[in-house]
Amino acid sequence: MKPGFDVSESQKPYMDVPVFPQEGPIHLDEILGRGRPLELEIGFGKGHFIIERALYRPEATILGIETRRKWVHLAESRAQKRAVGNVVVRHGDARALLKRMQPDRCFERVFINFPDPWWKAKHAKRMVVTQELGRDLVRLLVRGGEIMIQTDVDFRADAYLEELSAVEELEPLGQGGRVEENPFRARSLREIRCEELGMPVYRILFVRK
Ligand SMILES: C[S@@+](CC[C@H](N)C(=O)[O-])C[C@H]1O[C@@H](n2cnc3c(N)ncnc32)[C@H](O)[C@@H]1O
C-alpha cells in the first residue's frame, strides 16, 4: 500500500484514491509545494469545473476535495488523460479537512458548485455551506480572496447568503452577494446541465476583507 492512501477502506472499490493524513495538521505547502497560487473546489463531482479552471490558470494549483471516492478516481483519471498537471484531488469531507489545513491565508479562491443536494430536514446536518464553513474559509483565504457558490435551488441560495453574511470578515459582492454570471472561465457539470435546460443558476460571491 502506498503511503498516504487510505488503508481502512481497502476492501472497497477505488481504494487507491488519494487522501490527506488521517489526523494532525495538513501542511499544504509540504504536500503541494510553495510559491504557486492556490485555489480550492469543494465537492467537484465528476471534475468538469476543476479541470477547466486548471487549464485556464496553469500558473496556479487547484485543489479539490470530494466525499465520493468514485468521483475522486474519475477526476484524477480525467486530469491525467488531458495532461492537466495542476489539479490535485483528495478524498474526504471538506468540512473536517479545512479545520486541519495550514498555513492560514493560503487560498486565493474557493469554489463550491451545487452543494447540498439533500431536501429532508434530517439531512440538515450534512449541509456544506454554513456560517462555520465561512469562518474556516476566512482563516484560509488571502485578503481579497473570493468564495463563489452556485446552486439551482433558490431557497438554498437565500440560506447561503444568510450564513455567509453573518461572517464579519466576508463582504458580499454584486447585488448583496448575488452575481448574474460565473466570471471564472470554468463550468461545473450541473451548471452546464442547468444552462442546457434553461434552468436558473443562483450565484453567490463574497470577498474576504
Ligand atoms: C450535487 S453534486 C455537484 C457536483 C459538481 N460540483 C457539479 O456542480 O456538477 C455535490 C457534490 O459535493 C460532494 N460533497 C458533498 N458534501 C461534501 C463535503 N462535505 N466535502 C466534499 N465534498 C462534498 C458530493 O459528493 C457531490 O459530488
- Domain residue spans of the chain: 36-208
Tell me the residue ranges of DSSP E strands in 34-113. Answer: 38-42, 61-66, 87-91, 101-102, 107-113
- Cβ atoms of 63 and 29 within 8 Å: the answer is no
Chain centroid to CA 144: 18
Domain 36-208 class, CATH top level: alpha beta
Check residue 126 and give its pLDDT.
81
Nearest CA to ligand 1 atom 24: 43
Q: Which atom of ligand 1 is nearest to the CA of 193?
A: 9
Spatial CA neighbour of 109 closest among 27, 176, 185, 167: 185
Tell me the CA–centroid distance for residue 65 and ligand 1, in Å.
Answer: 9
* Active site annotation includes 93: no
Check residue 76 and give its pLDDT.
97
Q: Among 16, 29, 104, 116, which one carries the catalytic annotation?
A: 116
Residues within a 6 A CB radius of ligand 1: 42-45, 65-68, 71, 93-95, 113-115, 117, 128, 188-191
pLDDT band of residue 116 (cuts 50, 70, 90) is: confident
Check residue 71 and give its pLDDT.
96
Can you read off the three cell numbers belonging to residue 181? 454570471
Check residue 121 and give its pLDDT.
65
How much is the mean pLDDT over the chain?
93
Percent of the chain clearing pLDDT 90 (strictly above): 87
Residue from 19, 70, 95, 114 whose mutation best tests the ligand 1 pocket (most atoms within 8 A of CB): 114
Can you read off the three cell numbers belonging to residue 39? 485555489
Strands 26-27 and 101-102: parallel
pLDDT in tens, 156-186: 999 999 999 999 999 999 999 999 999 999 9
pLDDT in tens, 63-82: 999 999 999 999 999 999 99
pLDDT band of residue 120 (cuts 50, 70, 90) is: low
Q: How far apart are the first and last CA of the chain?
A: 43
* 117 has a pLDDT exceeding 90: no
* 123 has a pLDDT exceeding 80: no
